[in-house]
Structure 1
């Protein structure tokens, strides 16, 4: 095994990081979309995942998606989270673009794996007719769609606030001053997303991740769901744009309300999730250096 490791391991740090983001996001989508698939497709009389089951399943998908790539890339698996670290000057803009591309490919492949896993069940459920809305709709397995009650403005607020809460909690967990052991951070990120799901899942299913929503939407367009995946209620842009806005709001609310005021006791005791020191250096430490 060590011999294979020496021969096959990537020597380029950026290459390892991009592979990590691809793989972590693929894990997130494969598990997460499959959880939703069980909830949708089990409406034929068998017991499936109810909403709390979907919440827990997606939380586990987030936790292990982050955990498997944390040492390679920092475990972002979400462009909104990556943008948060750009705003903290802990991730270079060029690296953000590359992360976004890797996350998109990972999300696309994760959605494809779910489709391969549940292809026959989907066919049985919708009789081979792929639709976005209605009693036999299956597009919602892969990407978000608004509830019948939800308008675009309220949908934008939903995604902005839900992502703000999520990134507020991630900013807290990845701030070295809070001294969380590195091994537990991915699982607490998962628990954070469980809180988001149980609180904010009603309106549109709480995607809170542009890559998680856009890449599977493109996949469904390719495999036969048609242009409705982009045109339905004019929705498709909301879970792409609103999470970026919410990530910045939540992250900087954390800094102004909590982060800038947290004492620096034992700041170097633990290493927070992240392969690169530059990426995960806490903003508060930079502030202290500037003041000195």
Structure 2
């Protein structure tokens, strides 16, 4: 199986199970309605695990532009394939989102909560504060890529590594996910958000594009910082081919990008306050 096709299929599987568990919990008349955050976290962990089992041997099982970028920075993935993987991941996420809508179509029609329906496809922060939301996505993704890299230096019984990665996704969600819904994956948020905008979903609200830069750009900055920290701290016995100077340069790049992204988020937050204040007059 070609690696690009594998990434598309794997990402579609991940979104089908991940978006599916959210739909199961939030849509009316689903037998799993009201299952809660723990059910959603477990569903996403199993979604990633099963997607890796399905196609990981063909593509490496990234399913996430931030992971692809991080592995390229760490010299564990060729830069020439980065753009192709990202395109495949976004398309796979769109396909998975379509399948979720198709599967739960009658339940969308009987659910009045338009925000809950949007949450099936993309993330919404618990408290909309762009700088804080960016910090959550940057930190969560830095932890994700840092952990993926240090998990990779351990030896596991054959076939066990996808389980460990699945538990990693659960751990991030349980500990850090309640603020933004922990996208930590630009394709997971952008592809389904685009499908939410395009598909004839009954009673839907807007797709909240003003927030979309947070789960798209935040994880890309987070993965640069997380990979750079791994390169700096894991110097011996870790199959680390990043130079200390190269890691330091990437950390500086990530820090500068983080500074400007947070400043942009603060600016957008101020603009939102002005718009909201004007609408109340």
Fold shared per TM-score above 0.5:
yes
Partner residue in 1 for 2:268? none
Deviation at 1:151, TM superposition (A): 0.3
Tell whether the 8 Å contact from 1:23 to 1:106 is kept in structure 2 after alignment.
Answer: yes
Deviation at 1:90, TM superposition (A): 2.3
Structure 1 runs of 4+ off > 6 angstroms? 43-46
Corresponding residue to 1:183 among 147, 159, 163: 159
Is residue 72 from structure 1 mapped to residue 51 from structure 2 by the alignment? no
| CA drift at 1:68 | 1.3
Offset at 1:193?
0.5
Counterpart for residue 138 of structure 1: 117
**TM-score for the superposition, normalised by structure 2:** 0.80
Which residue of 139, 156, 159 corresponds with 2:134? Answer: 156
**Match of residue 220 from structure 2:** 244
- Quote how far apart the aligned CAs of 1:204 are: 1.6
TM-score of the superposed pair, with normalisation by structure 1? 0.77
- Distance, in Å, in 1 between the alignment partners of 2:145 and 2:171 is 12
Cα deviation digits, residues 112-148 of structure 1 (max 9, x gap): 000001000010113xxx84x4xxx41111111122x
Partners of 2:72 and 2:158 in 1: CA distance:
21
Q: Compute the displacement of 1:252 (Å).
A: 2.2
How far apart, in 1, do the equivalents of 2:43 and 2:74 lie?
30
What is the RMSD of the two structures over their aligned residues, measured on CA atoms? Answer: 2.2
Using a 3 Å threshold, how does the CA distance of structure 1 residues 42 and 224 change in structure 2: closer, same or farther? closer
> 34-43 or 240-249, which moves further after superposition?
34-43
Number of residues of Structure 1 aligned to a counterpart in Structure 2: 241
Which residue in the other structure is 2:194 paired with? 218
Q: 1:222 to 1:170 in 2, by over 3 A?
A: same
| Alignment gaps of 5+ in structure 1 | 1-9, 11-15, 265-281, 288-292
Within the candidate set 20, 25, 42, 1:56 is matched to 42
**Mean Cα deviation higher: 16-25 or 88-97:** 88-97
